Amino acid sequence: MLKTKIYNLIEKSLKRSLKLIFTKFTIQMQNLMTTKLFLLCLFPFIITSSSLNQTMRFGDDQMLRTHHHHKSFEQFTSIDSIPFGTINVHLIPHTHDDVGWLKTVDEYFYGSSNDIQNAQVQYVLDTVIVELEKDPSKHFIYVEVAFFIKWWREQTEEKQDSVRRLVASGQLEFINGGWCMNDEAAPYYEDIIDQMTLGHQFLKETFNVTVEIGWHIDPFGHSSTHASLFSQMGFNAFFFARIDYQDKDYRLDNKTMEMIWNPHQASGEEHGIFTSVNYYNYQAPPGFCFDQNCNDQPIMDDPRLEEYNLDERAKTFVTYFKNMALHYRHSDLMHTMGEDFQYSNAFKYFKNVDKLIKHINNHPEWGVNLFYSTPLALMLIGLGIL
């Protein structure tokens, strides 16, 4: 059953546009099938979903190490001094929608009180879905079920069917999947479990999906208790962004931004969870935010114009990822493209990134291959970990 599940996931991923890029991946899995009696008490609701009784885990850290090593560790400053082969960059379009922060949840959803903060989640989902419908190469991850439910209830049956297709194809992927993205320090564990349960139940009932990746890009610090909880919920990976700057420097220098975290010492490696720290918080690379709230220059791609900037901007983008690759053990990189409440005009964001992807991929000699992706696709195909 576990095998079937994994194969289904892989099949789903292969259907994506990525299949041309990666022809080889490995499957490493181990069925833990521990009794988890402790958990059965803790998670009365989640146990109805399949993820709890069956937990995949990764072989070990060695898998990360076996991926391509880079030949050069020097920083480079221009595209001309590229020392190694093709880097695959998984661009992750995403929005981070706080379920109540400076405004109320409803103000955020509808975009009222925009003098307090310019944020309108309804249009994020409206416009992202349209862009995904138009182009199967586009992907988007969504996190906060509290907002998604509000939007979902307003949709026609036709639209709901369309969204179901996008979820089934993997273009729209729910990640984390709780009611919100909870803090790791303040909440009581019972509340964490409840809010995760609420979101996961909706996703299971509505889309028959079981989210298996933790996405805590904004909580300010991370506890081993929370990593243990995620592991025990059946999550196979955990992505976050905010760590101590000295820890981050060390990890960048030592290529340990990705690791297997064993948060639950008492049960040894059984609860190990693949953990990855984002390279640049959870934003787009500096200068490449194309949200309507950003002031970065658009990609101007008509060479007849004086302000033509496509080639230069593309080279800057490529150089950024070449530098990033110096800090990772393999050539499959992941980078967020988004931020707080972004993509309320998804067309604008995607249109500009489309131009970068097209231009850069038309220059294979630059050694960087870009595509829209999700953390799950990175895990399954890029790293061959799941």
- What residues are annotated to the active site? 218
**Least distance from Zn ion to the Cβ atom of residue 1, Å:** 36
Beta strands 273-277 and 237-240: pairing type? parallel
Minimum distance of Zn ion from residue 98's CB (angstroms):
4
With CB under 5 A as the contact rule, which of the stretches 164-172, 213-221, 276-284, 363-371 interacts with Zn ion?
A: 213-221
Please provide the distance, in angstroms rounded to a whole number, between the alpha carbons at the two ends of the chain. Answer: 15
Please identify, using beta-carbon distances, which residue of 97 and 131 lies nearer to Zn ion: 97
- 3-class DSSP state of 88: strand
Distance of CA 75 to the CA centre of its chain: 26
Q: What share of the chain is helix, strand, coil (3-state, %, to 5)?
A: 40, 10, 45
DSSP-derived secondary structure letter, 68: P
Question: Six-digit token pair at 117?
Answer: 């903060």
* CA 134 – CA 120 distance, rounded (Å): 22
The residue at minimum Cβ distance from Zn ion is 218
The pairing of strands 237-240 and 258-261 is unpaired
Residue 335 backbone phi and psi in degrees, to 5: -140, 135
| Stretch touching Zn ion by CB under 5 A, among 90-98, 158-166, 246-254, 296-304 | 90-98
How many Cβ atoms are within 10 Å of 100's Cβ, its own excluded?
12
Nearer to Zn ion, 98 or 173 (CB): 98
Stretch that binds Zn ion, among 37-45, 82-90, 212-220, 363-371 (CB under 5 A): 212-220
Stretch that binds Zn ion, among 187-195, 216-224, 229-237, 357-365 (CB under 5 A): 216-224
- Segment contacting Zn ion (CB under 5 A): 17-25, 34-42, 44-52, 94-102? 94-102
Over the range 78-93, which residues count as b (16 or more CB within 10 Å of their CB) and which as e?
ebeebeeeebbbbbbb
We find the least distance from the C-beta atom of residue 218 to Zn ion, in angstroms, to be 3
- By CB under 5 A, the count of residues binding Zn ion is 2
Q: Which of 330, 331, 274 is nearest to 58 (CA)?
A: 274
Least gap, CB of 92 to Zn ion (angstroms):
16
- Pick 98 or 126: Cβ nearer Zn ion: 98
Under DSSP, the state recorded for 380 is I
3-state secondary structure of 89: strand
272 or 375: CB nearest Zn ion = 375
Give least dist CB 219 to Zn ion, A: 8
Nearer to Zn ion among residue 126 and residue 218 (C-beta): 218
Residues 217-276 that bind Zn ion (CB under 5 A): 218
Minimum distance from residue 341 beta carbon to Zn ion (Å)? 10
- Comparing CA positions, the residue from 285, 289, 306, 331 lying closest to residue 64 is 331
Rounded to whole angstroms, how far apart are CA atoms 109 and 123?
8
Contact pick of 57, 87, 98, 379 for Zn ion (by CB under 5 A): 98
Q: How far is the CB of 108 from Zn ion (least distance, A)?
A: 11
Q: Which of 273, 255, 259 is nearest to 326 (CA)?
A: 255
177 versus 382: smaller Cβ distance to Zn ion: 177
Is 184 a binding residue for Zn ion by CB under 5 A? The answer is no
Question: Which one, 321 or 341, has the nearer CB to Zn ion?
Answer: 341
CB neighbour burial string for 345-354, b if at least 16 within 10 angstroms, e if fewer: bbebbbebbb
Q: At closest approach, how far in Å is the CB of 174 from Zn ion?
A: 17
Q: Which two tokens stand for residue 50?
A: 């399949």
Q: Write the DSSP symbol of residue 269.
A: G
55 vs 120, which CB is nearer to Zn ion?
A: 120
Residue ranges binding Zn ion (CB under 5 A): 98, 218
